[in-house]
Structure 1
Amino acid sequence: MAKPRTDFPPVRACLFDMDGLLINTEDIYTICHNILLQTHNAGPMTWDIKSQLQGRPANESILRLLSFFNLPQVNPETYTTDLHKVQEREFPNAKPLPGVEALLQTLSTSENGGRKIHIALATSSHEGHFKLKTQHLEDMFGVFTKERRILGDDKRIPKGRGKPSPDIYLVALKAINDTLDEGEDEIKPEECLVFEDGIPGVIAGRRAGMRVVWVPHPGLANQYVGREAEVLAGRGEGGELVDEHQPGQVGDGWAEQLVSLVGFPYERYGIVTGK
């Protein structure tokens, strides 16, 4: 086990996943899949398979799902089309998760050593689904300016480089640095705090050289009891090193797990809220 690092610089940028972290769409995804799986005499989706789908590109998730339920006769494209029809009906029911609205509002008015905290969104959701999930939550998502909303179909993310690759978080940091106020120093990866609920996202944040707060759904947390330290190190679903670019070590202090975003410990990250 590594010695925990304790000399981190104060956080200057907070980068947020969306599904299951800011809004309850992970539960909605489950509802949508179960509606469709039932038509194929399969399901229900449980967290042993759902944990393998979180944060991954949609096409990869569908292939994993159909393989898990042994549905080789189901065309992935047809399943995806049918799933989208169900999602179009269900996604507008998305709601903020506990503590999210207060956290985003507080960060938008907080500072670090006299410098404001910058925030960005980094979600695997493509633009069409993003609109379905958020158009009724414009007040909440208004804290993310357009240029700091990095979506899954962003052309700056190479094909096949979604989470758990670090690209989306590196693109989000560049988007912030490209829009800093005059005179502000460029923000470094270790000055960023990634907020994630899914394990591929935790790995992506760690690979990007950033600190991570992991807020898993209770169902996912139950799947990883006893393996939390490996998840926080960004060491993949079973604790193994996934590739040579992964820097995390168990107990290195770069990540922590929270039950929810209620009562977020700002001071732990050098964030001054003014309260």
Structure 2
Amino acid sequence: MAPKTDFPPIRACLFDMDGLLLDTEDIYTQCINAVLERYNRPQLPWSIKAKLQGRPMPEANKIFMAWSELPIPLQQFQKENAELHSEYFPRAQPLPGVEELLATLDSTRFWETKADAAAATENSSGASTTGHRVHIALATSSQTVNFRLKTAHLEDLFSVFEVPRRVLGDDSRIAPGRGKPLPDIYLLALKTINETLAPGEKPVTPEECLVFEDSVPGVEAGRRAGMRVVWCPHPGLKTEYAGREPEVLAGTTGEAGEAGNDTPAGEIEDGWSQYLPTLESFPYGYYGIVPAPKTTI
């Protein structure tokens, strides 16, 4: 099929956290491997880690325990793993490009108060784009306890995510079994934005949303939500899916199984998704986003 090119400008950016904003995927691997080593089990390969990424904890634990065959019950593994998380998560740091990207998107608040400014630039297609507010929300499978461990020392970075627009993995509004790769968490994140818009502002549609993800289940969740997606994976994950990138970007790797039958994913090379090796030098103009002038931030 011919890729779609006539998208409206992006009005909302929805972010995953682990491995996308923060370097916590390597910390997860470090902690899991430490537990595996205690019980003489093999180290976690990317073929298994790829299935754990982005999923809610209960689903990820089932996959991990079935593979690892640890000689301890799940509760003991969780206890030992949590002890290591408490030690290492407070050391988490932003990944390359994250601080600048979030600050630049947050700067679009300027257009909300300076709507009459002569704010126009040329986007990648050569069309004129007027500056507009880009809303930001967080949609992470990380549960509240771990979220606090990972972010308490990074309050300034996460201050761009207003509390009502933070959707965590243990949010009661997400039904059990409806986490990534199903679309519910991203549809809920969009709902939090639309519920907190300024009076008179037109609701944001899924097509006006850009999902930022590192995981394969997360990309599928974004595509099933009817949103555009940026896939920025760990180099190890990229290697694991070498040759299958078009499937990942379309959300057609089958992570959702039969549960996804009611929310279709995309199609190969349909133009809705893009791979980026890092979030550095993000192509704002391609998505119709106009950063505010540096002097106004």
TM-score (norm 1): 0.95
What SS class does the counterpart of residue 268 from structure 2 fall into? coil
Deviations 1:209-228 (A, max 9, x none): 00000000000000011100
User: Counterparts of 1:1-275 in structure 2 under 5 Å?
Assistant: 2-71=1-70, 73-110=71-108, 113-236=130-253, 243-244=260-261, 245-275=263-293
User: 3-state SS of the aligned residue for 1:116?
Assistant: coil
The residue type equivalent to 1:232 in the other structure is: L
C-alpha distance 144-239 of structure 1, shift in aligned 2 (>3 A): closer
Contact 2:181 2:255 in 1 (8 A): no
The change in CA–CA distance for 1:239 and 1:173 in structure 2 (over 3 A counts) is closer
Deviating runs (4+, > 6 A) in structure 1? 238-242
Task: State how far apart, in whole Å, the 2-side matches of 1:274 and 1:241 are.
Answer: 44
State the Cα deviation string for residues 81-132 of structure 1 (Å, max 9, x = none).
2211111111001000000000000001125734311000000011110000
Alignment check: 8 A CA contact 2:219 2:249 kept? yes
Q: CA RMSD in A?
A: 1.7
What secondary structure is seen at the aligned counterpart in 2 of 1:3?
coil
Unaligned segments of structure 1, at least 5 residues: none
Contact 1:230 1:239 in 2 (8 A): no
User: Aligned with 1:212: secondary structure?
Assistant: strand
How far 1:60 sits from its partner (Å)? 1.8
1:236 Cα shift?
2.0
Once residues 170 and 265 of structure 2 are traced to their aligned partners in structure 1, the CA distance between those partners, rounded to angstroms, is 27
Are the aligned partners of 1:11 and 1:270 in contact in 2 as well (CA < 8 Å)?
yes
- Structure 2: unaligned runs, 5 residues or longer: 112-128
Relative to structure 1, the CA distance from residue 146 to residue 238 in structure 2 (aligned partners, 3 Å threshold; closer, same or farther) is closer
> Match for 1:261: what amino acid?
L
Q: Distance in 1 between matches of 2:199 and 2:45?
A: 49
Alpha-carbon shift at residue 41 of structure 1 (Å): 0.7
1:270 maps to amino acid? G
| Partner Cα separation in structure 1 for residue 196 and residue 264 of structure 2 | 28
Alpha-carbon distance in 2 for matches of 1:239, 1:75: 27
Q: Give the conservation status (yes or no) of the 8 Å contact 1:203–1:234.
A: yes
Gap change, CA 1:263 and 1:242, over 3 Å in 2? farther
1:64/1:31 CA distance change after superposition, 3 Å = same
Identity of aligned residues (%): 54
- How far, CA to CA, are the matches of 1:259 and 1:132 in structure 2? 27
Contact 1:235 1:242 in 2 (8 A): no
Question: Residues 190, 12 of structure 1: CA spacing in aligned structure 2 closer, same or farther, 3 A cutoff?
Answer: same
Task: Compute the displacement of 1:63 (Å).
Answer: 2.0
- In structure 1, C-alpha distance between the alignment counterparts of 2:188 and 2:42, rounded to whole Å: 36
Partners of 1:258 and 1:54 lie apart in 2 by 18
Bigger Rg, which one: 2
Residue 155 of structure 1: how far off its partner (Å): 1.0
Give the letter aligned to residue 75 of structure 1: P
